[in-house]
Amino acid sequence: MILRVAFVVALLVIAVFLLGCADARRIDVVSVLKSGNCATSDVGVRLIDYKALAEFRATHLIGMPESPETINKPLHLIAIVPASYPTPGYAISLSEGAELKGQLLTLRVGIQRPAADAILVQMVTHPCLVVGVNDPTVIRVRVVNEAATVIGEVDLPIEQ
């Protein structure tokens, strides 16, 4: 009898776990730009256009339209700048496991730090990562760090 009850409880736990994950699916996210010091002081997560992408690299667009509407299948560009740091050597990268639940896409990022004994120049840096998303299901993007702390969220424009 005890074995039968344990078996039923185990089946219920598995069923609840599977139902809880049934709405989640993975989605492709493209890394468009990764830099140890972007030309911005805006910390957080925000939607940018192609002109702003060029400005992140302290450059400008040459022969490319500034408006994504003129590009076939444009990406929604999302800039992620986790913080200002006192030295170079910090970097941000996209971790595995971007997950879409309903219309919310959750991206996980890792922040690499310089070695504790590194001798580095003292200057404020803004490491950034720009990712592209082109999935009509995604309405909102949330970015979290390794500790699952939310860095920021952004709403994507709804396509007609």
List CB contacts of 129: < 8 A, sequence separation 6 or more: 31, 33, 34, 79, 80, 92, 93, 94, 109
Is 78 within 8 Å of 98 (Cβ atoms)?
A: no
- pTM to 2 decimal places: 0.75
Q: Which helix (H) or strand (E) holds 44?
A: strand 44-48
Has residue 27 got a pLDDT over 80?
no
pLDDT tens per residue across span 46-90 = 999 888 888 877 665 555 555 555 556 678 999 999 999 999 999
